[in-house]
Structure 1
Amino acid sequence: MKIFSKDKALARLSLSNPIHFLALGFGSGMMAKAPGTFGTLAAIPIYLLMAPLSIEWYLGLTLLSVILGFYICHVAAKDMGVHDHGAIVWDELAGLLITMIAAPAGWVWIVIGFTLFRFFDILKPWPIRWLDAKVKGGFGIMIDDVLAGLFSLACLQGLAYYFA
């Protein structure tokens, strides 16, 4: 059973390069199957570290993850020679952080946020699919996951309003 991908484009990246390390979600994007899901899972410890912060700090760090993500994803894609390679999962990390803005505390809400984000990231309803297909570069890699995160955030907050 193959655990890590042996993809030739992925072989052009190195975990010792800080940009590549971040783009690959601390190595989680190197999984042979479902790298986006593993990248989203890798975001959970980051979320847990950020959850106790004030909303201002949480929003600031989340925005920073998005802005840095444009660059991180651009560099990794350029170094791989492939636009939006599945191993680039920094966008999933940023998307989950967006999803979890002001989320209620508890593992149930983390699981719900994770599930909602993966749902929107995989299904890509309009306009997410359109942006994914039309926008290129680091911005293009990030924007569909940012929007999936915003869709997930709206759903999570709606659920929290009625059930938390």
Structure 2
Amino acid sequence: MPDKSSCKGNWLESLPLNLATLGAAGRMPKAPGTWGSLVAAILAPFLFLPLPLWGRVVVLLLLFPFGSWCAGKAEKSLCCKDPSCVVVDELWGQWITLLPLAASDTLWIIPAFLFFRLFDITKPWPVRASERWLPGGWGIMIDDGLAGLYAMMALLVCRALF
């Protein structure tokens, strides 16, 4: 993964890479996906959960193509398929997990984070297979969306039991 000094061009050309890595989150030396999910979980009470449900759905619908574009640009920029520093997909998947929460449900963000990391790391069927369904950045994003759906279902079951 190149550092900032190896980025060619102006800031506008490096913007998709910086968005795809969520800034420094994806550039952490260990577990960039976990860092990306943590950033998403920290930002959610301020940028995602206060929105009405329809607003969160719109954000998720817009984030998928935008994140796919950024991830695809990052792949080309880094000359690497699905680079680990690209964590915009973790933002999307983590926020899918958080979709049914109310703004006041901030304590439920912790199990939501843990469930998402579990399903994103273990990649149960069809999460792993989904990476090959779509090319480029679309494939990078889709598996985290499915992991987010699994995590959301686990979170809803957990909430129903407790």
Quote the residue 2:145 is aligned against.
146
Matches within 5 A, 1:11-22: 13=7, 16=11, 17-22=14-19
Give secondary structure in 2 for the equivalent of 1:84: coil
Aligned CA distance change for structure 1 residues 115 and 102 (closer, same or farther; 3 Å): same
Report the CA distance between 1:133 and its aligned residue: 4.9
Give the counterpart of 1:99 among 84, 97, 109: 97
Partner amino acid for 1:23?
A
Which shifted more, 62-71 or 90-99? Answer: 62-71
Q: Partner letter of residue 117 of structure 2?
A: R
Give the distance between the partners of 1:10 and 1:158, measured in 2 at CA: 43
Query: TM-score when scaled to structure 2?
Result: 0.87
Corresponding residue of 1:3: none
Aligned to 1:55: 53
| Deviation by residue 1:84-122 (Cα, 9 ceiling, x = unmatched) | 110000000000000001225334310100000000000
1:118 aligns with 2:117: yes
Cα distance change, pair 106–52 in 1 and its aligned pair in 2 (3 A): same
Structure 2 gap ranges (5+)? none
RMSD between superposed Cα atoms in Å: 2.2
Post-superposition offset of 1:27: 1.7
| Residue 40 of structure 1 pairs with residue 27 of structure 2 | no
Unmatched segments (≥5 aa) in structure 1: 1-6
Relative distance call for 1:138 and 1:83 in structure 2 (3 A) is: same
| 1:46 Cα offset (Å) | 2.7
2:81 aligns with one of 83, 100, 117: 83
